Amino acid sequence: METGTTNGSSGKIAIVTGGNRGLGRNTVLSLAGRGVDSIFTYRTNREEADVVVGLVGGAGARAVALQLDTGDVGTFGSFVDQVRRALTGLGAERFDYLVNNAGMALYKPFDQTTEAELDALYAVHFKGVFFLTQALLPLINDGGKIVNISSGLARFAAPGSSAYASMKGAIEVLTRYLARELGGRGIAVNTVAPGAIASDFGGGRVRDNAEINRRVTEVTALGRAGQPDDIGPMVAALLSDDNRWINAQRIEVSGGMNI
């Protein structure tokens, strides 16, 4: 699946996991607005992915959507082969930016969380990020950038999010190590930690539950829940050369939640 033109292209290419919806979708579209082409993944909903490809084309950039379950490490070898073919189609051999965004929610008290649920979160939110980044390293340009998506929940505690937040805490540690180990190639690695966002994440919990939305609003300095449009443009800006000297940082984008 590919469309778009090269008009206004920056010549840069991003890979964004989970780019068919939510924050990933917004990131892909924000990058397109800056002339950055994208290869993005979707897990099951090809129709959503097709819509995003069309929107990117309408913005004058190009996008390729590839199916991937980021929790299935055994498929990463074949995925990298697909990425190589997609890059060829975009007239490139390597890409510039990686955004590890794909994820899923779990809202469950610590004493009720099962081993299977913890393993599923680990597979997607940590193991998948670790080994997909490792698998793609030979294809990322020296001087490239990696953004790992964390959560405000890694800083403040909300009962029922212990398993999910712990995985995000691990990602924040991994980010610092990647920044250190990849610095020799000029690759900057940062974490972006959104606060509560009114999107379809977690079944639309913040967006559709008026009581949860009210509570988020009350503890956020800017007086509302976040929107996907608050995150995608920030990630796109962080990936730009304007922010080339930001490295190994955790940047929370929460409107001042729980401060």
What CATH number is attached to the domain comprising 221? 3.40.50.720
Q: Is residue 248 part of a domain?
A: yes
Q: Is residue 258 part of a domain?
A: no
**pLDDT class of 10 with cuts at 50, 70, 90:** confident
Q: Is residue 25 part of a domain?
A: yes
How far CA 113 is from CA of 48, 142, 154, 163, 171, in Å, comes to 31, 41, 18, 8, 20
**pLDDT class of 4 with cuts at 50, 70, 90:** very low
Residue 113: is its pLDDT beyond 90?
A: yes
Q: Is residue 72 part of a domain?
A: yes
Summarize pLDDT for 16-32 with one digit per residue, the tens: 999 999 999 999 999 99
Tally of domains in the chain: 1
Q: Is 107 a catalytic residue?
A: no
pLDDT at 8: 62
Residues of the domain holding 9: 2-253
Annotated catalytic residue, options 107, 122, 164, 177: 164
Q: Is residue 71 part of a domain?
A: yes
Q: Is residue 241 part of a domain?
A: yes
Q: Residue 84: is it exposed, middle or buried by C-beta count within 10 angstroms (0-12/13-18/19+)?
A: middle
Strand 250-253 relative to strand 13-16: parallel, antiparallel, unpaired?
A: unpaired
Answer for the pair 254, 227: CB distance below 8 angstroms, yes or no.
no
Report d(CA 94, CA 13) in Å as an integer: 8
Length of the chain: 259
Answer for the pair 92, 140: CB distance below 8 angstroms, yes or no.
no
pLDDT averaged over every residue in the chain = 95
pTM comes to: 0.94
Q: Is residue 259 part of a domain?
A: no
**122-141 residues labelled b (16+ CB within 10 A) or e (exposed):** bbbbbbbbbebbeebeebbb
Residue 1: is its pLDDT beyond 60?
A: no
Summarize pLDDT for 140-170 with one digit per residue, the tens: 999 999 999 999 999 999 999 999 999 999 9
**pLDDT class of 172 with cuts at 50, 70, 90:** very high
**pLDDT class of 5 with cuts at 50, 70, 90:** very low
Terminal alpha carbon distance of the chain: 43
